[in-house]
Amino acid sequence: MTLSKQSPIAEALDRLWAQFLPEMEQRVATLEAAAKSFAGDQLSIKQHEEANTAAHKLAGVLGTFGLTRGTVLARELEIMYSRENGPDPAMASQLAEIAAQLRTMIESRK
Amino acid sequence: MAHRILIIDDEDDIREVAALSLETVAGWEVITANSGAQGLARAAESQPDAILLDVMMPGMDGPSTFRELRKNPVTARIPVLLLTAKVQANDQRRFADLGVEAVLFKPFDPLTLSNQIASVLGWN
């Protein structure tokens, strides 16, 4: 997607991004909390489902705001959380790393 | 000619960006609904030219909403395009088998979404 920064749709998208930024950040917070719980072997079913939903929603929306890499990362998390028995224990550090990358990406979007 | 599109999606951000895209880029009239149930009512009352329908929604999901649209003679012939963030091949096949006009994927490009829809529906 190539948008001129001056185009009316780019400006409108920036306004919508600002409007929905708290929701994006909340979804990332859900992923961060789930990663922390998983590392401590305390991921509840509810938290597991919420993390799956948050990853799915981020995967669906970040690319629309130009954050294509964000969609790729969120999709990786969605796949990990989609496993019926929860993420692979070997992936514990990746869950936290990807959530941290998503936070950086979201907070640095201009 | 300005087409009228109904967007049914429970996610506020997706609904608003899609509406912005179709209004600004294509100049279409956009109606929105935030649930399958609200979408059924809006479709019957506003008779849109097409419906952009999210797959994963709480309560009545996209496929269930589509089946209800087809049962009602008032909405049965309105073209429906599914919008989904599910990219796995088995999901795509399942959605395509429903009988919708097309399956579009999230994330979408706000600059080209209207072209995708117009192309599927022969509005070009």
Q: Look at residue A4 in the predicted model and tell me its pLDDT.
A: 57
Q: Is residue A1 part of a domain?
A: no
Q: Is A65 on the interface with B (CB under 8 A)?
A: yes
How many residue contacts between A and B have a Cβ separation below 8 Å? 60
- This prediction has a pTM of 0.91
Q: What are phi and psi of B85, to 5 degrees?
A: -95, 0
Instruction: Note the pLDDT tens digit of each residue in A70-84.
Output: 999 999 999 999 988
ipTM of the complex: 0.86
Kindly write down the DSSP assignment for every residue of chain A, as one continuous string.
----TTSHHHHHHHHHHHHHHHHHHHHHHHHHHHHHHHHTT---HHHHHHHHHHHHHHHHHGGGGT-HHHHHHHHHHHHHHHSTT-S-GGGHHHHHHHHHHHHHHHHH--
CB contact under 8 A, A20 and B12: yes
Q: Look at residue A3 in the predicted model and tell me its pLDDT.
A: 56
Identify from A3, A58, A64, A75 which residue to disrupt to test chain B contact, counting B C-beta atoms within 10 A and taking the largest count.
A64
Show the low-confidence residues of chain A (pLDDT under 50). none
What domain range is A64 assigned to? 11-108
Which residues on B lie below 8 Å from A63 (Cβ)?
Answer: 106-107
Q: Is residue A71 part of a domain?
A: yes
**Nearest Cα to A95, choosing from A44, A30, A19, A25?**
A30
Q: Give all domains of chain B, ordered by start, each with its CATH number.
A: 4-117 (3.40.50.2300)
Which residues on B lie below 8 Å from A13 (Cβ)?
Answer: 17, 20, 110
Q: Is residue A74 part of a domain?
A: yes
Q: Look at residue A2 in the predicted model and tell me its pLDDT.
A: 53
Q: Look at residue A110 in the predicted model and tell me its pLDDT.
A: 67
Q: Quick check: A71 and A63 in contact, CB under 8 A?
A: yes
Identify from B9, B13, B15, B87 which residue to disrupt to test chain A contact, counting A C-beta atoms within 10 A and taking the largest count.
B13
Strand ranges across the sheet with B50-54: B29-33, B4-8, B50-54, B80-84, B102-105
Q: Is residue A42 part of a domain?
A: yes
Show the low-confidence residues of chain B (pLDDT under 70). 1
**Count of residues in chain B:** 124
Number of domains present in the structure of chain A: 1
Interface of B with A (CB under 8 A): 11-14, 16-17, 20-21, 24-25, 56, 85, 87, 106-111
Q: Is residue A77 part of a domain?
A: yes
Residue A55 maps to which CATH number?
1.20.120
Q: Is residue A3 part of a domain?
A: no
Q: Is residue A36 part of a domain?
A: yes
- Contacts of the segment A10-14: beta carbons below 8 A, 24+ positions apart: A12/B20, A12/B24, A13/A65, A13/A66, A13/B17, A13/B20, A13/B110, A14/A110
